[in-house]
């Protein structure tokens, strides 16, 4: 076979560990092997399959505005405005993207000069460091124990941005308003950007309030918000996300979008724009249920002596392996092979997270969740 040459940049990037694991689960399922799946990064909702009946064929089959369909941008701007009280200009500050993953990647690419540093607090979402590397930047990870107030110690003359995932995958933690305020002060003081990934912002306990990064920077002087329909609308496979940024930055990011994907899928954007409120009405009660289940499973783990990182939002738990002698990778492999339960090894969320596994409660019914969570606790007890 002829040698395959590739850019050396790719040697510094790994396969996305959570996606590799998901592929493994899909393969097991297709062989008819039953797996209690606590590893998928989404919540399954009961929402009707879309009907495109009556939509104008001459519009939905074709490319559309590369910023995103105007009506969808308008709805997204209103959605954020009503949640944050900060004005959002749908024509200049919003871009619809092929998932928030693309929004984040384009933002890094647009902001970073080679060698620029990006501070990424652990536990981190697996794609941040590799996306930064692909944008020729340098990810600077901070251990999970580091409070927001200490992040200033990681700022150097090369620091360009800080990534904030709020609420956080995998801990379910929401940043307090004072923490966000401190981050914005740090950004102002050192001329940094805050890249706020708010992909799980609907997943909060009833009565809790979500504080968006935009609330502290309504003019978007140093804030880019990336978000998505994947989790909040339960349609991850549609690949529709969006970003909100200062008009000048959005203009630069638009060039990337035009050269990479032209536009987000037109037919799905059209359907979404037309059904924006209806889908949210359908998912919100289901979101409430899944968050309650998350917090019930957290109590179930606590009753078995397993602690999780603090958090009450999303559909994830980041469970400590406590006194188990197994590392997170080996723990997850044994759990899958011996008990048919899939979780994600903590090491994928940063070097400081080796003593954790991520549990997702989004895709299994309650009885199977309880069985899976109990299997986690038992394997910890048996491997002390
Ligand atoms: N951000 C976080 C924190 C995530 O967990 C994910 C997906 O798991 C994404 C972004 C990307 O989601 P999408 O590209 O589907 O919007």
The answer to the question of residue 353 being in a domain is yes
The answer to the question of residue 2 being in a domain is no
CATH of the domain at 213: 3.40.640.10
Whether residues 221 and 246 fall in one domain: yes
From 259, 277, 295, give the residue that closes a domain.
277
Q: How far is the CA of 100 from the centre of ligand 1 (A)?
A: 6
Whether residues 99 and 169 fall in one domain: yes
From 251, 277, 303, give the residue that closes a domain.
277
The answer to the question of residue 102 being in a domain is yes
Within 10 A of 180 (CB to CB), how many other CB atoms are there?
A: 22
Whether residues 18 and 37 fall in one domain: yes
User: Tokens in use for 131?
Assistant: 């996306």
Residues lining ligand 1, Cβ inside 6 A: 41, 99-101, 125, 165, 169, 197, 199, 228, 230, 236, 241
Which region holds residue 207: left if phi is over 0, alpha if psi is between -120 and 50, else beta?
A: left
CB 95 within 8 A of CB 68: yes
Domain that holds residue 107: 57-277
Whether residues 159 and 63 fall in one domain: yes
User: Tokens in use for 141?
Assistant: 């990870």
CB 378 within 8 A of CB 331: no
Whether residues 123 and 136 fall in one domain: yes
Q: What is the pTM of this model?
A: 0.95
Atom of ligand 1 nearest to the CA of 100: 16
Can you give the pLDDT at residue 16? 76
Give kind and range of the element (H or E) at residue 159: strand 159-165
Ligand 1: which of 40, 101, 123 to mutate, most ligand atoms within 8 Å of CB?
101
> What distances in angstroms separate CA 326 from CA 176, 280, 334, 355, 382, one per listed residue?
34, 41, 9, 9, 10
Whether residues 191 and 42 fall in one domain: no
Can you give the pLDDT at residue 14? 84
Ligand 1: which of 18, 104, 105, 199 to mutate, most ligand atoms within 8 Å of CB?
199
Paired residues of 165 in beta bridges:
197
Can you give the pLDDT at residue 1? 57
Question: pLDDT tens track of the chain, all 384 residues?
Answer: 566 788 888 888 887 777 778 888 888 888 888 899 999 999 999 999 999 999 998 889 999 999 999 999 999 999 999 988 889 999 999 999 999 999 999 999 999 999 999 999 999 999 999 999 999 999 999 999 999 999 999 999 999 999 999 999 999 999 999 999 999 999 999 999 999 999 999 999 999 989 999 999 999 999 999 999 999 999 999 999 999 999 999 999 999 999 999 999 999 999 999 999 999 999 999 999 999 999 999 999 999 999 999 999 999 999 999 999 999 999 999 999 999 999 999 999 999 999 999 999 999 999 999 999 999 999 999 999
């Amino acid at each position: 076979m002829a040698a395959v040459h590739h850019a050396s940049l790719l040697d510094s990037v790994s396969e996305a560990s959570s996606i590799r694991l998901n592929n493994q689960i899909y393969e097991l399922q297709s062989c008819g092997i039953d797996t209690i799946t606590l590893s998928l990064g989404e919540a399954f909702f009961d929402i009707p399959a879309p009907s495109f009946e009556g939509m104008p064929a001459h519009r939905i089959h074709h490319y559309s505005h590369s910023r995103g369909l105007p009506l969808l941008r308008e709805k997204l701007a209103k959605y954020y405005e009503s949640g944050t009280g900060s004005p959002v200009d749908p024509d200049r500050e919003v871009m619809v993207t092929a998932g928030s993953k693309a929004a984040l990647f384009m933002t890094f690419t647009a902001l970073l000069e080679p060698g620029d540093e990006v501070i990424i607090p652990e536990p981190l979402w697996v794609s941040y460091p590799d996306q930064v590397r692909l944008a020729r930047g340098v990810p600077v990870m901070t251990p999970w124990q580091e409070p927001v107030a200490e992040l200033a110690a990681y700022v150097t003359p090369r620091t360009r941005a800080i990534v904030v995932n709020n609420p956080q995958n995998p801990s379910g933690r929401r940043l307090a308003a004072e923490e966000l305020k401190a981050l914005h002060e740090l950004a102002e003081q050192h001329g940094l950007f805050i890249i706020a990934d708010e992909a799980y912002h609907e997943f909060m306990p009833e009565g809790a309030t979500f504080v968006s990064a935009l609330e502290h920077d309504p003019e978007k002087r140093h804030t880019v918000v990336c978000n998505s329909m994947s989790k909040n609308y339960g349609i991850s496979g549609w690949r529709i996300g969006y970003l909100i940024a200062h008009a000048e930055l959005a203009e630069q990011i638009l060039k990337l979008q035009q050269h990479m994907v032209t536009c987000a899928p037109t037919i799905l954007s059209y359907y979404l724009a037309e059904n924006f409120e209806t889908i949210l009405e359908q998912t919100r009660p289901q979101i409430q249920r899944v968050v309650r289940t998350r917090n019930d499973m957290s109590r179930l783990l606590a009753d078995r002596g397993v602690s999780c990182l603090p958090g009450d939002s999303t559909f994830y738990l980041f469970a400590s392996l406590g006194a188990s002698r197994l590392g997170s990778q080996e723990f997850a492999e044994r759990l899958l092979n011996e008990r048919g339960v899939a979780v994600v090894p903590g090491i994928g969320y940063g070097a400081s997270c080796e003593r954790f596994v991520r549990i997702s409660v989004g895709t299994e019914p309650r009885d199977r969740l309880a069985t899976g969570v109990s299997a986690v606790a038992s394997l910890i007890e048996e491997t002390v």
